[in-house]
Amino acid sequence: MDDLVIFGSGGFAREVAQVVRDINATAQTWSLLGFVDDDARKHGSTVGGLPVLGGAEWLDAHPKVACTIGVGSPVAK
């Protein structure tokens, strides 16, 4: 299984996490590590049972981890 994080930790990101869980229910594909969010107030918290690992700098420090976007707001994208 490949490691995966979701960028964002709001409602749409939680929906993306559920899609990953649904995929894994059929075929273990992803090891979902948690969320990455640039809002430092969320770092270290838990969302939907998964940790918020840090911000974009976390991705820089973990270049082999796959990332998918979980941001639904067009302005934020």
* Banded pLDDT at 72 (limits 50, 70, 90): confident
pLDDT for 26-67, tens place per residue?
Answer: 999 999 999 999 999 999 999 999 999 999 999 999 999 999
pLDDT for 5-17, tens place per residue?
Answer: 999 999 999 999 9
Amino acid 74: pLDDT: 73
Strand segments, DSSP code E, in the chain are: 2-7, 30-36, 46-47, 50-54, 66-69
Q: Report the C-alpha gap between 69 and 47 in whole angstroms.
A: 16
pTM higher than the cut 0.85: yes
- List phi, psi (to 5°) of 75: -65, -45
